[in-house]
Amino acid sequence: MSMAAEERSARAPWALTAPALMLFVGVLLIPLAMTVMLSFHDWGQYKGIEPVFILKNWHEIATDPYYAEMFWRTFRIAILTTLLTALLGAPEAYILNRMSGRWKSFFLLVILGPLLISVVARTLGWALLFGGNNGLVNKLLMSLGAIRSPIPFMFTETGMVVALAHVMMPFMVLSVWAALQRLDPQIENAAMSLGASPATIIRRIIMPQIMPGVLSGAIIVFSLSASAFATPAIIGGRRLKVAATLAYDEFLNTLNWPLGAAVATLLLVALVLIVVGSNALIERRYAEVFR
């Protein structure tokens, strides 16, 4: 390669990525930095936002138990949603993987397709199914004898977890599915020929191998559930607040932007720490297993 061509190929990647890089710095990194700064500003009912540096908002979040309760509710809902998707999604992915070609791709489409359908429409569907004390879900559960009296789903955490689990399920199935593709079916056959029972095969052969898939699915589901907005807002109503709906209220109803910015910043930082931390943990854990 000539000198000129070499120089060009060193500059080419930067020339090609420069427009996107400028876009991202200009309208992503700067706005994010402005939001963090906003959380240190002062606000008053009549004076509006005052660009000073104070810890008022952070102090309020740290000391007022209302925020501790709200964040704890947010993460409790996210944890329960994650557990529910893992408990149901992992077996379903395994069952799907054992189906024959055409059924497999058909059901994969049916289960993954909702991922791209409007969250508002899907949550509306749950609101219709829950519908007060005589909603379809309660009628069905009572006629099956599973419950005696109707469970309140609307405006409760139970309802939020069920609807969120439905919204997030495709991510879990997809993630476990990807792990199953790397699994060698011959190992299962070998275990069976050596006399292992189906339960032992699942516990000793399948589970350890799909665990990384379950865990990476869990991270995605957890972070998306903890920051979900549409489902908690529609199912939870105006009273049962989570971090995202509270930030929305501060910004568009109370107009206390600095406090809303502090809630959003805390949510972002907490999620980044949890995601990065658990990713590192999983990688270390499974690096040891496969070494």
Partner 1 sequence: MRRNGPLALIFHTIFVIVMVAPILVVCLVAFTPEGFLSLPTNGFSLRWFRTIANYPEFIHAFWVSLGLGALSSLVGLLFAVPAALAIARYRFRGRDVLAALFLSPLMIPHVVLGIAFLRFFTSAGLGGSFAALIIAHVIIVFPFALRLTLAAATGMDRSVEMAAVSLGAGSWTLFRRVTLPLILPGVISGWALAFIQSFDDLTMTVFLAAPGTETLPVRMFLYIQDNIDPLVTSVSACVIAITMTALILLDRFYGLDRVLAGKGDTGR
To partner 1, the closest distance from the beta carbon of 291 in angstroms equals 21
Of residues 28 and 54, the one with the C-beta less far from partner 1: 28
Determine the Cα–Cα distance for residues 289 and 291; give it in Å rounded to an integer: 6
If the CB atoms of residues 54 and 136 are measured against partner 1, the closer one turns out to be 136
Q: CB-wise, 248 or 286, nearer to partner 1?
A: 248
Name the residue nearer to partner 1 (CB basis): 58 or 107: 107
Q: Between residues 21 and 281, which has the closer beta carbon with respect to partner 1?
A: 21
Cα 35 to Cα 24: distance, rounded to the nearest angstrom: 16
CA atoms within 13 A on the CB side of 230: 15
The least CB distance from residue 287 to partner 1, in Å, is 18
Q: CA of 230: how far to CAs of 1, 44, 81, 170, 266, in Å? A: 55, 29, 15, 17, 20
In degrees, rounded to 5, the angle at the alpha carbon of residue 71 between the alpha carbons of residues 66 and 75 is 150
Render the chain in DSSP notation, one character per residue: --HHHHHHHHHHHHHHHHHHHHHHIIIIIHHHHHHHHHTTSEEETTTEEE-----HHHHHHHH-HHHHHHHHHHHHHHHHHHHHHHHHHHHHHHHHHTS-HHHHHHHHHHHHGGGGS-HHHHHHHHHHHHTTTT-HHHHHHHHTTS-SSPPP-TTSHHHHHHHHHHHHHHHHHHHHHHHHHTS-HHHHHHHHHTT--HHHIIIIIIHHHHHHHHHHHHHHHHHHHHT--HHHHHHHTTTS--HHHHHHHIIIII--HHHHHHHHHHHHHHHHHHHHHHHHHHHHHHHHHH-
Least spacing, CB of residue 160 vs partner 1, in Å? 14
Q: How far is the CB of 203 from partner 1 (least distance, A)?
A: 15
Q: Output 131 or 152, the one with its CB closest to partner 1.
A: 131
Residue among 82 and 188 whose Cβ is closer to partner 1: 188
Q: In the complex, what is the shortest distance from the CB of residue 189 to partner 1, in angstroms, rounded to a whole number?
A: 7
67 or 126, CB closer to partner 1?
126
Q: How far is the CB of 38 from partner 1 (least distance, A)?
A: 6
Give the shortest CB-71-to-partner 1 separation in angstroms. 14
CB of 110 to partner 1, least distance (A): 6
